Amino acid sequence: MNESLRVLAPEPHQPEWMDDGAMMDIQRPSPPKLLAPSSPATERPQGCFVFPTASSVPLKATRCSVLALVTVVVVVQGALAHDSTIRLRQGNVQGVIRETSTRQIYAYLGIPYAKPPVGNLRFQPPRRHEGWTTTFFATEFGAACPQPFLTGLQMSEDCLTLNVWIPELPRGFRQYPVIVLLEGELFVTSAPSRFPGQDLAASDMIVVSFNYRTNAFGFLSWEDRVLPGNLGTAGPVTRPAMGAASAAYHLVHPRSQGPFQQMILMSGTHLAPWALSRQPRVASRRLSEHLGCGYVSGSSYLLGCLERKDVDQIVKAVERLVEEGNPYYLFAPVVDTFLRPEEQVVPLEPLSAIRESANRRIPLLLGLSENEGSVMLYIKREINYMTFDDLRRYAHEILVPMVTSLHGYGEDAEVVKRMMEYAYPDKARLGETYTLVLEIIELFTDGMFKAPVIKMAEEASRRGLNTHLFVNTFVSRDIYRSYTNISGSSSAYRSPTTRSS
Q: How large a percentage of the chain has pLDDT more than 70?
A: 72
Strands, E assignment, 223-279? 262-266
How does 226-247 read in b/e, with b if 16+ C-beta sit within 10 Å? Answer: ebbbbbbbbbbbbbbbbbbbbb
- Could you read off the pLDDT of 228-282 as tens digits, one per residue? 999 887 544 434 344 555 566 556 565 555 566 788 888 878 888 888 898 899 9
Alpha carbons 22 and 12: distance in angstroms, whole number: 21
- pLDDT over 80 (residue 22): no
Q: How confident is the model at residue 124 (pLDDT cuts 50, 70, 90)?
A: very high
Candidate from 24-38, 280-294, 396-410 with smallest mean pLDDT: 24-38
Most confident of 69-73, 410-414, 437-441: 437-441
The CA distances from residue 45 to 124, 205, 247, 374, in Å, are: 38, 10, 22, 38
Task: Could you list the beta-strand ranges (E) of 440-487.
Answer: 467-472
Other beta carbons within 10 Å of 87: 16
Say what the pLDDT of residue 217 is: 96
Nearest alpha carbon to residue 127 among 145, 111, 118, 114: 114
Q: To the nearest 10°, the Cα dihedral for 192, 195, 201, 206?
A: -20
Start-to-end Cα distance in the chain: 37
For 287-344, how does the pLDDT look when each residue is reduced to its tens digit (9 = 90+)?
999 999 988 889 999 999 999 999 999 999 999 998 887 777 889 999 999 999 888 8
Residue 39 has pLDDT above 70, yes or no: no
Residue (of 287, 145, 327, 302) closest to 218 by Cα position: 145
**Any alpha helices (H) in 253-330, and if so which ranges?**
280-290, 299-307, 311-324
CA 411 to chain centre: 35
pLDDT at 285 over 90: yes
Phi, psi (5° rounding) for residue 283? Answer: -65, -40
Q: CB of 219 within 8 A of CB of 281?
A: no
338-386 per-position pLDDT tens digit: 999 888 888 888 888 777 765 557 788 998 888 888 887 777 778 888 9
Distance CA 260, CA 293 (A): 42
Q: Are 321 and 327 in contact (CB under 8 A)?
A: no
**Average pLDDT rounded to a whole number, residues 466-487:** 68
Taking the model in full, what pTM does it have? 0.75
Question: Which H or E element spans position 310?
Answer: none
User: What's residue 477's pLDDT?
Assistant: 62
- Which stretches of 259-379 are assigned E, i.e. beta strand? 262-266, 364-369
Instruction: Report the alpha-carbon distance of residue 235 to residue 92 in Å, rounded.
Output: 23
Lowest mean pLDDT among 148-152, 196-200, 407-411, 465-469: 407-411
Higher pLDDT, 286 or 295: 286
Residues making up the chain, counted from first to last: 501
Give percent of the chain above pLDDT 90.
40
Q: What does the pLDDT read at residue 57? A: 31
pLDDT band of residue 501 (cuts 50, 70, 90) is: very low
pLDDT at 115: 94
Q: Say which range, 38-52, 108-122, 132-146, 434-448, has the weakest mean pLDDT.
A: 38-52
pLDDT at position 315: 96
Per-residue pLDDT, averaged over 116-127, amounts to: 93
Count of Cβ atoms closer than 10 Å to residue 162 Cβ = 27
**Lowest mean per-residue pLDDT among 137-146, 259-268, 389-398:** 259-268
Taking all residues of the chain, what is their mean pLDDT, rounded to a whole number?
76
* 99-115 mean pLDDT: 95
Does 14 score more than 50 pLDDT? no
Q: Are 145 and 190 in contact (CB under 8 A)?
A: yes
What is the DSSP code string of 174-185? Answer: PP-EEEEEE--B
What ranges do the domains of the chain cover?
A: 364-482
β-bridge pairing 262-266 and 467-472? unpaired
| In the predicted structure, residue 25 carries a pLDDT above the cut 70 | no
